Copies of this chain bind each other. A is one copy, B any other.
Amino acid sequence: MAGREPEIITEKNQMRKWSRAMRAKGETIGLVPTMGYLHEGHISLIKEAHKRTSLIVVSIYVNPGQFSPTEDLSTYPSDFHSDIRKLMAVPGGVDVVFHPHNLYDYGKSKTTGLKNGGGSSNCENSSGGVDGEVEKKGVMSCVEERGLGHETWVRVERLEKVMCGKSRPVFFRGVATVVTKLFNIVEPDVAVFGKKDYQQWRIIQRMVRDLDFSIEVIGSDVMRDNDGLALSSRNVHLSPEEREKALSISKSLLRAKFSAEKGQVNCRELRNLVTQAVDKAGGRIDYAEIVDQESLEAVEEIKSPVVFCIAAWFGKGTSPRQSP
């Protein structure tokens, strides 16, 4: 059943103007930031937002700031028209889709100091500009690679370094920065993030606290397909066989959960249970850690609330699958 069509806004100023006009009427605004190619996981975030605010903004923007030039920005899946159809089917609907062309385009400002990069890149529309200094340190995203002149980054210095941050050094810097930008453009009362990306959710929570954003951050539970695989836009890259093998993650996580519930507190034992199953299925593990739910520090023995986080690669995909 198709519902009402959301208003599509592409300009920052128009987005902010809409939010301020609505707030002046006493409305409250919920933001669900996405990179598009929507699935039931995203829809569940929108439903969470509907519980809390009168109006819903969904942003659809594949953020170059969180991809390094060697990652999969250029092959990240997208289907805007299908996304809009899915949003129209959400009970209660969506009021605005914020779909900017380029959040890092600031008009005519100078981009001095950029040098030619050369080499191959997965950044779309690459213009070849490279910040030599950032590159030297090994921290460069597709934003620097494109030579856009953007140079301000929000760093959650402790939480960004562990787990996904080890293999993807620009990732959380890019996420925290684009979320800050979206917060400043949309000015929401509530923002909803999925706990599938557990570390991301905790980083946004910490950032909101540390920078005094007046925004309530909600974490929404992992959504899984009928077979148990956590929903993710990147699942589209998996062949049926690879998908079957990737189920080793959710199945062994479930076994580890049962084992912990029955009294196993030794994290090495619990981790082995999962890593052996994923190894056996041919997965390449990026990390598999049992960590404190707040500090994200690795835990040896379960004494307080923990979360099991794993990222592993199946098939030829260029990005790891993560599933807490």
Contact = CB atoms under 8 A, between A and B. Distances in A.
A185 interface: yes
A184 B211 contact: yes
Nearest to A180: B211
Nearest to A134: B157
A134 to B, nearest CB: 7
Residue of A152, A156, A180 with most partner-chain B CB within 10 A:
A152
A212 B12 contact: yes
Contacts of A133: 158, 161
Given A180-B211, A297-B112, A131 B152 contact: no
Copy count, this protein chain: 2
A115 interface: no
A206 B157 contact: no
Interface in A73-119: 103-104, 106, 109-110, 112-113
* Interface core residue of A16, A158, A295 (most chain B CB under 10 Å): A158
Contacts of A106: 209-210
Contacts of A211: 152, 154, 177, 180-181, 184
Interface residues of A, number: 42
A176 B209 CA distance: 16
The secondary-structure label for the interface of chain A is mixed
A207 interface: yes
Given A113-B297, A211-B181, A212-B12, A176 B152 contact: yes
A155 B210 CA distance: 14
Interface string A141-158: 000000000111111111
A313 to B, nearest CB: 28
Contact of A210 (B112, B151, B158, B295): B151
Contact of A151 (B24, B153, B156, B297): B156
A132 to B, nearest CB: 11
Interface in A16-34: 16, 24
Interface string A163-203: 00000000000001100110011000000000000000000
Contacts of A161: 133
Interface of A: 12, 16, 24, 103-104, 106, 109-110, 112-113, 131, 133-134, 150-159, 161, 176-177, 180-181, 184-185, 206-207, 209-214, 292, 294-295, 297
Given A153-B157, A180-B211, 13 more contacts: A104-B210, A106-B209, A109-B209, A113-B297, A133-B158, A150-B210, A151-B210, A152-B206, A154-B154, A154-B155, A181-B212, A184-B213, A184-B214
Q: Which 5 A-B pairs have the closest CB atoms?
A: A152-B210, A112-B295, A184-B212, A151-B158, A181-B212
27 contacts: A12-B212, A16-B214, A103-B212, A104-B210, A106-B210, A112-B295, A113-B295, A113-B297, A131-B158, A133-B158, A133-B161, A150-B210, A151-B156, A151-B206, A151-B210, A152-B154, A152-B155, A152-B157, A152-B206, A152-B210, A153-B154, A154-B211, A155-B155, A180-B211, A184-B211, A184-B214, A185-B212
